[in-house]
Amino acid sequence: MSAADAFVERLERARSGARTLAAATTDSKNAALEAIAVGLENAVPEIVAANAQDLARGEENGIGAGLLDRLRLDEARVRALAAAVRELISLPDPVGQVVRGSTLANGIAISQVRVPFGVIGAIYEARPNVTIDIAALAVKSGNGVVLRGGSAAEHTNAELVALIQSAVTSAGLDGRAVQTIDPFGREGAGKLMRARGYVDVLIPRGSAALISTVVNESTVPVIETGSGVVHVFVDETADDDMAVEIALNAKTHRPSVCNAAETLLVHRGAADRLLERLSESLLAANVTLYGDTAVTQRVPGVSPASDETWGTEHLALEMGIKVVDSLDEALLHIQRYSTRHTEAIVTRDYANAERFLSEVDSAVVMVNASTRFTDGGEFGFGAEVGISTQKLHARGPMGLPELTSTKWLVRGAGQIR
């Protein structure tokens, strides 16, 4: 069989397996999830051994410590993955939910119901936990899935996908609904992006560069899970303690994730009383600050901001800080530099709060809360599909319903037009 045929065969298996998952009851999908969790727990030695091969090759190839850490699976991490899969069992099954419906004047009954997409494609980098995450979410939402997980995690992913396939099959469903195209390398990823008719939606997870490549090259519809140049604006009337707590929490609680704040804007009317306190709290928490001149002139230890500061997603203990003359200037700055993920205002002024909520065009807009709350778990969705920064289909934290489409069921009694 040629490589091209072998590639198409995997897509066809995923599609055909997806049909059994689409028709599966919630009980059998939950049984498949439990089987995956048990499978993970039983295969800890094999998974860790396969992972060791990937880690050894990664070290040979000189990949960085951060990447190596994300690639690593030890027993504790495998057990945590199993626990995450089990959490999905208790979540409501979106498939079959009636979204809306009515009876038309002619007596025809129409109802719009949630159905699985069919086959989800996922392209991500060397993080084997995503293999389990996405496959488990796909199973629960009744979708097949084609995974492309990055060659650095090839051995680990092969072990995990084989385990998932046999777990799903052991639950009486078609395990072929879960496929990997890792053996087809970069060329396979390119083909997946053009696999219209086989793949219904493509979800890239990873760096901005990866997401941008998928968005630009894919002919399959994409759900973009984007990067976050996230802003906190401290308004003139902000409560002082609240402003400091939110700025600190938004920046330092978990700096490596997309809902961490990257830029702090401070209203000139609050700067006199708050600029030093805000800056010093952040500096004391080991945050490197890049300030405009209004900040550097007043606060020692703040580096001068460069042209790149305001558009950068640091994902680290680094932050831009800028004094603005007004809410309008804050809104303009956000409009220019935001990636439309999350922005927050800290204020006691009702009109400013409502204007900020209304005028900021981001997936999540907050008043007096830490940007760290933009999260599927915090929103009560119970599972982390990703945070969409696009406007089509899903925006903001995505739960299981965002992994479904709908169809209209029309029940008549012979009506014609």
Spell out, one character per residue from 29 to 68, where the chain touches a copy of itself: x when CB under 8 A holds, - when not.
----------------------------------------
By C-beta, is 102 or 303 nearer to a copy of itself? 102
Helix (H, G, I), strand (E, B), or coil: what is residue 250?
helix
φ, ψ for residue 303, nearest 5 deg: -80, 155
Spell out, one character per residue from 357 to 386, where the chain touches a copy of itself: x when CB under 8 A holds, - when not.
xxx-xxxxxxxxxx-xxx---xxx------
By rule CB under 8 A, what count of residues binds a copy of itself?
A: 69
268 C-beta neighbours (distance < 10 Å), count: 14
CB 198 within 8 A of CB 308: no
By C-beta, is 25 or 303 nearer to a copy of itself? 25
DSSP states along 374-392: -STTTTT--S---EE-SSS
- Paired residues of 172 in beta bridges: none
Please report whether residue 256 would count as binding a copy of itself according to CB under 8 A.
no
By C-beta, is 145 or 363 nearer to a copy of itself? 363
Residue labelled with tokens 């084609």: 146
Strand pairing class (109-116; 98-103) = antiparallel
Q: How far apart are CA 50 and CA 56, in angstroms?
A: 10
405 C-beta neighbours (distance < 10 Å), count: 13
Of the ranges 147-155, 160-168, 217-225, 302-310, which one interacts with a copy of itself (CB under 8 A)?
A: 217-225
Please report whether residue 118 would count as binding a copy of itself according to CB under 8 A.
yes
Burial of 304 (0-12, 13-18, 19+ CB in 10 A): exposed
Please report whether residue 117 would count as binding a copy of itself according to CB under 8 A.
yes
Which of 131, 249, 263, 389 forms a contact with a copy of itself (CB under 8 A)?
Answer: 249
CB of 69 to a copy of itself, least distance (A): 22
402 C-beta neighbours (distance < 10 Å), count: 23
Q: How many residues does the chain have?
A: 417
CB of 220 to a copy of itself, least distance (A): 9
Pull the structure tokens for residue 111: 């109802």
Which of 42, 219, 256, 297 forms a contact with a copy of itself (CB under 8 A)?
Answer: 219
List residues binding a copy of itself (CB under 8 A). 22-23, 102, 104, 108, 110, 112, 115, 117-118, 196, 200-201, 215-216, 219, 221-223, 239, 241-242, 245-246, 248-250, 253, 344, 353, 357-359, 361-370, 372-374, 378-380, 390-393, 395-397, 405-417
